[in-house]
């Protein structure tokens, strides 16, 4: 099983992002995300044995309780490092999310999951960019947008997802929900 944890986005924000993607797609023939794939990854777990799924769920359920996390989605950018996947993204401003990610790192590392080597940088992946792609037309289309503020929401839980590779892109299946506030 290939797994990750994420925050889900509310429908109205997904709708605004999907409208933007519909306007930007003609400017760039790149691998665009679909509305069903929009989320904020908190921890990429990677390949995990199905026989240990309950152990992982128990560990994630023990992540320290906290208040809901206020999330603001705005602005666009790109990770263009030639040594890593090139990503076109929407920015995430969410005080407290880095701490949640750190707690998840600790919880999953205790089970043998490799720690992330780079700092946590929350974002919503809007597209994957092939190396050598000329971004001029995409930059022009982004500049023409009147607003790049997609809204705010309160994250009250995070989710464990399975990712399966399919033709046409990955399919994400929600396996468990973990409330941020424990009873």
Predicted pLDDT at 143: 85
pTM for the whole thing?
Answer: 0.91
Q: What is the mean pLDDT of residues 22-48?
A: 93
Q: What is the pLDDT of residues 51-75, one digit of tens each?
A: 999 999 999 999 988 999 999 999 9
Decide if pLDDT at 133 tops 80: no
Q: What is the pLDDT of residues 139-167, one digit of tens each?
A: 888 888 878 999 999 999 999 999 998 88
Residue range(s) defining the domain that contains residue 89: 2-179
Q: What is the mean pLDDT of residues 83-111?
A: 91
**What CATH number did the domain enclosing 74 receive?**
3.90.1140.10
Q: Quick one: tokens of 172?
A: 């994400």
Q: Which of 40, 38, 33, 9 is nearest to 151 (CA)?
A: 9
The SS3 call for residue 173 is: strand
- The total domain count for the chain is 1
**Partners of 46 in the β-ladder:** 3
What's the Cα-to-Cα distance from 15 to each of 7, 19, 38, 129, 141, rounded to whole Å? Answer: 16, 6, 10, 22, 19
Please count the CA atoms within 13 angstroms of the CA of 56 that sit on its side-chain side: 28
Predicted pLDDT at 85: 65
pLDDT tier, 79 (very low <50, low <70, confident <90, very high otherwise)? confident
């Amino acid at each position: 099983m290939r797994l990750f944890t994420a925050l889900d986005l509310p429908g109205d924000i997904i709708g605004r992002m999907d409208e933007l993607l519909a306007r930007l797609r003609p400017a760039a023939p790149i691998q665009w995300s679909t509305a069903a794939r929009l989320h904020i990854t908190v921890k990429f777990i990677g390949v995990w044995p199905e026989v240990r799924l309950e152990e992982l769920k128990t560990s994630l359920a023990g992540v320290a309780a906290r208040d809901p996390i206020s999330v603001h989605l705005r602005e666009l950018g790109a990770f263009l490092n030639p040594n890593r996947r090139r990503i076109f993204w929407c920015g995430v401003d969410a005080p407290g999310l880095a701490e949640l990610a750190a707690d998840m790192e600790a919880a999953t590392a205790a089970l043998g999951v490799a720690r992330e080597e780079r700092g946590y940088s929350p974002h919503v992946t809007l597209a994957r960019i092939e190396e050598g792609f000329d971004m001029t037309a995409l930059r022009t289309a982004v500049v023409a947008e009147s607003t790049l503020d997609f809204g705010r929401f309160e994250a009250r839980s995070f989710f464990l997802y399975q990712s399966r590779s399919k033709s046409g892109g990955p399919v994400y299946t929600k396996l468990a929900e973990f409330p941020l506030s424990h009873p």
